[in-house]
Amino acid sequence: MAIMKADKLGVSVAKGPSMMTGAIPKNDWWDVPAEFKPGKYCYPAKQEIHEYHQKSLPKELGGQPRVWDPESDNWLLPEGWEAIILNGLKERLDKFRSLKIFMDCCVRCGACADKCHFFLGTGDPKNMPVLRAELLRSVYRNDFTLAGKLLGKMAGGRPMTFGVLKEWFMYFYQCTECRRCSVFCPYGIDTAEITMMGRELLHLVGVNTNWILEPAANSNRTGNHMGLQPHTFKDNIMYLCDDIEEITGIRVEPTFNRKGAEVLFITPSADVFAEPGIYTAMGYLLLFHHIGLDYTFSTYASEGGNFGLFTNNELMKKLNAKMYAEAKRLEVKWILGGECGHMWRVLHQYMDTMNGPADFLQVPTSPITGTRFDNAASTKMVHISEFTADLIKHGKVKLDPKRNDHRTVTWHDSCNTARAMGLLDEPRYVMQNVCNNFHEMPENTIRESTFCCGSGTGLNTDEIMELRMRAGLPRANAVKYVRDRHEVDTLACVCAIDRATLTSLMNYWNPDVNVCGLSELVGNALVMEGEKERETGLRFEPLAGMEG
């Protein structure tokens, strides 16, 4: 969908009437209906995709598979859908203490209000995390609290109506579960939890989006979001090996589904499929060859990402379960994970609980340095940045950071690795060893305060491009800050969704800034044994001093 030019949208953000610019809505928020217009919502799941999932998760992915239009006033909801939602809410209140506490404790102090990138970019009051949660909380109060039962509207209660359902579908898909608000909340209320619950409830009545459920279906069947079948997955990586050979003169020989390898390597499939992720994958391939790692890819578990996280707990568990199943089948010792944000949220905070214990694996130990990764002693999965930082620290890789001198780099902390894991300084250490020109963005926009790319949690779809560009503005703006001051031209990160979404975002707001994965910079800097003199980087761009 064509959207307005950046300069025009910029004026709209800074000057248009919105809560960010001081305009006060005339009506109370509960009297402002959600209006579905093109560009304001993600397309519903295709009927066959909905059917496919229902075969394996009948209860949780409820509703009738159907063709329906969010712009119409009839969403073809199942009979008694209100009761389905309320029962689903009750079930979740009993299953998640977080939900109960977050429903009860908010004092509406407003500290979260201007911490959300969606609010900063749209000025829409319902994108203040507090109001996003109130959309659900009002229903909770009405049906589950004494005050709400007695006083109804006076106690802030609202019955579950179609109007409320529409608000949920709109605003739980204008949240990327980035958790920035939860850093600032005095009670740690995490809107990600609220949004997850909201989306689960919507799924119970068949209200869903295709951009999440189709990749999830692909992932289930073919092993990855992209729907790459085993031979294609392998072919794609072999093409990257050809490019590596052309650039470095070195032939790397990855293996697939090989039993008995020491390490199973799993990365988001976008890394083997599309720019600029493929350059990150080339970085992995070079690194593993350089250190002689005994590893294998799997075509069955060929996806690090997990769109189940954006759907419901059951689907998340189902998709994630492939990793341990495959590690067991291939009899590897431990698992190494590539660069991805939400993948690492699942691996760090959910995997062991859902699909562990991984007692058939060993505590990860780097075969090169002998370092035991005790921080992954139970889950047995190590992040590529932890692994690489350890290699560099022990002097096990030969690096020439000058090979990245054609770039001036800044670092984007991905939401999930920053706020659901605490992976902040490992990638920075790697970064400082592989490139010479590095500048941090302003402090309120990095580390635990980092801003989301604006398109995470399955919102990376073209039909909502303007929303995405608005939501990504806080990130883009901080990049612009360092671009203007330090001529930064590269935005590096450890997230596959970022590599895709930040590329769109930079093209829109800062067209002269490229996006790359950390491992691409590593791959550029690696001095391989027997390599030819490098004239270009991994994307065939001329190195500094090699231009023309």
Partner 1 sequence: MRILTPFIAVLALIAVGLVAAQVPGGQALIGIVLPYLAFALFLGGFAYRVMQWAKSPVPFRIPTTCGQANSLPWIKQNKIDCPSTKLGVIARMILEVFLFRSLFRNTKAEVHEGPKLVYGSSKFLWLFAILFHYSFLVIVLRHMRLFMDPIPGFVAALEFGDGFMQIGAPVFYQTNAIFLAAIAFLFLRRVMLSNIRYISLPADYFPLLLIFGIAVTGILMRYVFRADVVAIKQLTHGLTTFAPTIAAGQISPIFFIHVFLVCALLIYFPFSKLMHMAGVFMSPTRNMINNSRMVRHINPWNDPNIKPHSYAAYEDEFREFMKEGGIPVEKE
Binding to partner 1, residues 119-148 (CB under 8 A): 120, 125, 128, 130-131, 134, 145-147
Query: Smaller CB distance to partner 1: residue 228 or 247?
Result: 228
| 159: contact with partner 1 by CB under 8 A | no
Q: Which of residues 201-260 bind partner 1 (CB under 8 A)?
A: 220-223, 229-231, 234-235, 256-259
Query: Smaller CB distance to partner 1: residue 400 or 425?
Result: 425
Q: Which of residues 368-387 bind partner 1 (CB under 8 A)?
A: 371, 374-379, 381, 386
CA distances from 317 to 111, 204, 270, 304, 341 (A): 33, 17, 21, 13, 17
Identify which range of 68-76, 473-481, 491-499, 516-524 contacts partner 1 by CB under 8 A.
473-481
In one letter, which amino acid is 149? K
CB hemisphere CA count around 211 (13 angstroms): 15
Q: Which of residues 270-329 bind partner 1 (CB under 8 A)?
A: 299-300, 313-314, 317-319, 321-322, 325-326, 329
Query: Smaller CB distance to partner 1: residue 177 or 248?
Result: 177
> How far is residue 204's CA from residue 181's CA, in Å, rounded to a whole number?
27
Q: Whole-number minimum distance, CB 60 to partner 1, in Å?
A: 10
SS3 474: helix
Identify which range of 13-21, 41-49, 397-405, 490-498 contacts partner 1 by CB under 8 A.
13-21
Among 61, 194, 389, 521, binds partner 1 (CB under 8 A): 389
Angle between helices 230-248 and 277-291 (to 10 degrees): 70
What burial letters (b/e) apply to 287-307, b meaning 16+ CB within 10 Å?
A: bbbbbebebbbbbbbbbbbbb
Query: Smaller CB distance to partner 1: residue 62 or 156?
Result: 156
Residue 133 near residue 106, CB atoms below 8 Å:
yes
Cα torsion at 161, 166, 168, 171 (round to 10°)?
-150
| 468: contact with partner 1 by CB under 8 A | no
Phi/psi of residue 423, each to 5°? -90, 95
In one letter, which amino acid is 424? L
Among 142, 437, 445, 490, binds partner 1 (CB under 8 A): 445
Among 38, 39, 444, 542, binds partner 1 (CB under 8 A): 444
Residue 203 near residue 316, CB atoms below 8 Å:
no
> How far is residue 348's CA from residue 421's CA, in Å, rounded to a whole number?
7
Among 271, 339, 426, 520, binds partner 1 (CB under 8 A): 426
| 390: contact with partner 1 by CB under 8 A | yes
| 87: contact with partner 1 by CB under 8 A | no
Q: Whole-number minimum distance, CB 42 to partner 1, in Å?
A: 25
Identify which range of 161-169, 200-208, 423-431, 458-466 contacts partner 1 by CB under 8 A.
423-431
Query: Smaller CB distance to partner 1: residue 76 or 363?
Result: 363
How many secondary structure helices (H) and strands (E) does the chain include? Answer: 23, 7
Identify which range of 100-108, 398-406, 492-500, 520-528 contacts partner 1 by CB under 8 A.
100-108
Q: Whole-number minimum distance, CB 265 to partner 1, in Å?
A: 15
Comparing C-alpha atoms, which of 102, 119, 106 is closest to residue 174?
119
Among 46, 100, 396, 439, binds partner 1 (CB under 8 A): 100
Give me 319's structure tokens. 């998709």
Among 35, 107, 161, 535, binds partner 1 (CB under 8 A): 107
Beta-carbon contacts of residue 131 (< 8 Å; ≥ 6 apart): 29, 125
Query: Smaller CB distance to partner 1: residue 244 or 478?
Result: 478
Among 54, 82, 155, 531, binds partner 1 (CB under 8 A): 155
Q: Whole-number minimum distance, CB 254 to partner 1, in Å?
A: 12
Beta bridge partners of 372: 365
> How far is residue 396's CA from residue 82's CA, in Å, rounded to a whole number?
60
Q: Whole-number minimum distance, CB 293 to partner 1, in Å?
A: 18
Give me 33's structure tokens. 């209906």
Quickly list DSSP for 400-430: -GGGGTT--EEE---HHHHHTT---HHHHHH
Q: Which of residues 497-536 bind partner 1 (CB under 8 A)?
A: none
Comparing C-alpha atoms, which of 103, 128, 131 is closest to residue 30?
131
Q: Whole-number minimum distance, CB 173 to partner 1, in Å?
A: 21
Q: Whole-number minimum distance, CB 486 to partner 1, in Å?
A: 17
What is the residue whose two structure tokens read 């199943």? 325
Q: What is the DSSP letter of 21?
A: G
Number of residues that bind partner 1 (CB under 8 A): 124
Query: Smaller CB distance to partner 1: residue 341 or 537?
Result: 341
What burial letters (b/e) apply to 84-117, b meaning 16+ CB within 10 Å?
A: bbbebbeebeeeeebbeebbeebeeeebbbebbb
Among 291, 421, 465, 544, binds partner 1 (CB under 8 A): 421
Among 284, 307, 350, 438, binds partner 1 (CB under 8 A): 350
Among 4, 21, 33, 331, binds partner 1 (CB under 8 A): 21
